[in-house]
């Protein structure tokens, strides 16, 4: 049995349930960083093969009757990190990095709602990165980044102490507020050091697997 933790390759295409689904497999696209569901499309064998070959999400348009690469007109492509099949091999999960909004209406996702839980840290990291490049002069984030790593590290230390104090002196809301401050400053530190939360979660994942 194939290990579904590993992304699909061209050699795995024969193992998918194409006949069961009349040659079309539903493909859910998920932001590889935040976990947000971006869109639902359909792939034929040829579309999946093109996706794996080019590294850009390619689907079969039922209305146009042809293959289409997401963003071929708008430029808002989906760079594919990996494609995984489900347990019945009749549905696909596409992990991707979006370049611009995914929905044709100009929104990040074709579905409503916002990322919740830890996945929102990727959204926060994107905001911090945007502030670093073109934030307003009044932006605290941009000011902190200009101050440099030592100042940011000092703030992380201060916020860490405040979290510890809140844990024994404040209620649940107060603890959550202080942890939010710490996570924000950690996100700024990651930006200043040229890395992101993905690197952190990769370390945690490796430790968990070991």
> Which domains does the chain show, CATH number per domain?
10-98 (3.10.20.810), 117-209 (1.10.287.1080)
| Residue 170: count of CB within 10 angstroms of its CB | 15
Cα(85)–Cα(79) distance, integer angstroms? 18
pLDDT tens across 149-164, in order?
Answer: 999 999 999 999 999 9
In this prediction, residue 85 has a pLDDT band, given cuts at 50, 70 and 90, of very high
CA–centroid distance for 141 within its chain: 22
- The CA distance from 99 to 122, in Å, is 14
> What are the residues whose beta carbons fall under 8 Å from the beta carbon of 65, sequence distance 6 or more?
none
Identify the band that residue 115 occupies on the pLDDT scale cut at 50, 70 and 90.
low
Instruction: Please name the residues in contact with 170: beta carbons below 8 A apart, sequence gap of 6 or more.
Output: 178
pLDDT band at 126 (very low <50, low <70, confident <90, very high): confident
pLDDT (average), residues 131-155: 90
User: Over the chain, what is the mean pLDDT?
Assistant: 91
- b/e 71-109 (16+ beta carbons within 10 angstroms → b): beeeebbbebeebebeeebbbbbbbbebeebbeeeeebb
Q: What is the pLDDT of residue 34?
A: 80
Give the count of beta carbons closer than 10 Å to the beta carbon of residue 186: 19
Number of Cβ atoms within 10 Å of the Cβ of 173: 9
Model pTM?
0.68
Residue 202 binned pLDDT confidence (cut-offs 50, 70, 90): confident
What pLDDT is recorded for position 124?
Answer: 85
pLDDT at 121: 82
Q: Is the pLDDT of residue 131 over 90?
A: no
More confident residue, 1 or 158: 158
Tell me the pLDDT band of 165, cut-offs 50, 70 and 90. very high
- CA distance readout (Å), 90 to 23, 28, 74: 10, 12, 29
197-209 and 120-134 helices cross at what angle (nearest 10)?
150
């Amino acid at each position: 049995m194939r290990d579904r933790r590993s992304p699909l390759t061209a050699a795995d295409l024969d193992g998918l349930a194409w006949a069961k689904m009349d040659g079309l497999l539903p493909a859910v696209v998920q932001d590889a960083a935040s976990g947000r569901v971006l869109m639902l499309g359909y792939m034929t064998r040829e579309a999946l093969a093109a996706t794996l070959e080019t590294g850009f999400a390619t689907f079969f348009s039922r209305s146009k009757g042809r293959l289409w690469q997401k963003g071929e007109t708008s430029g808002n492509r989906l760079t594919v990190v990996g494609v995984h099949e489900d347990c019945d091999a009749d549905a696909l999960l596409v992990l991707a990095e979006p370049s611009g909004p995914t929905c044709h209406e100009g929104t990040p996702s074709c579905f409503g709602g916002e990322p919740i839980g830890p996945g929102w840290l990727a959204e926060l990291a994107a905001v911090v990165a945007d502030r670093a490049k073109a934030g307003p002069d009044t932006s605290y984030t941009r000011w902190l980044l200009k101050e440099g790593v030592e100042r940011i590290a000092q703030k992380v230390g201060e916020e860490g102490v405040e979290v510890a104090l809140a844990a024994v002196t404040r209620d649940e809301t107060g603890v959550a507020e202080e942890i939010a401050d710490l996570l924000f400053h950690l996100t700024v530190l990651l930006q200043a050091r040229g890395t992101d939360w993905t690197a952190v979660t990769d370390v945690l994942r490796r430790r968990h697997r070991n």
